[in-house]
Amino acid sequence: MIGLMIAVHGLLLLFGWLEYKLFLIVWGFMNCATYFYLIIRVPLIICINSLLVFKNVKY
């Protein structure tokens, strides 16, 4: 019975460690995705807005 409790405790610690590492990996991907989204989105919006302004210019 003691061995089972030690094994269960070890598994819980292992799963906690895996969950923590998984959280760090997902957090890292989310940060990278956010930065790439902003890096791509901001120039794209500026480009689209400038194209729309030049398209709608009335002389």
Higher pLDDT, 14 or 49: 49
DSSP string, 1-59: -HHHHHHHHHHHHHHHHHHHHHHHHHHHHHHHHHHHHHHHHHHHHHHHHHHHHHHT---
pLDDT at position 36 over 60: yes
Specify the amino acid at residue 22: L
Q: Where are the domains of the chain?
A: 21-59
Q: Would you place residue 57 in the very low, low, confident or very high pLDDT band (cuts 50, 70, 90)?
A: low
Flag whether the pTM goes above 0.85.
no
pLDDT at position 11 over 80: no
pLDDT at position 59 over 60: no
pLDDT at position 34 over 80: yes
pLDDT at position 55 over 80: no
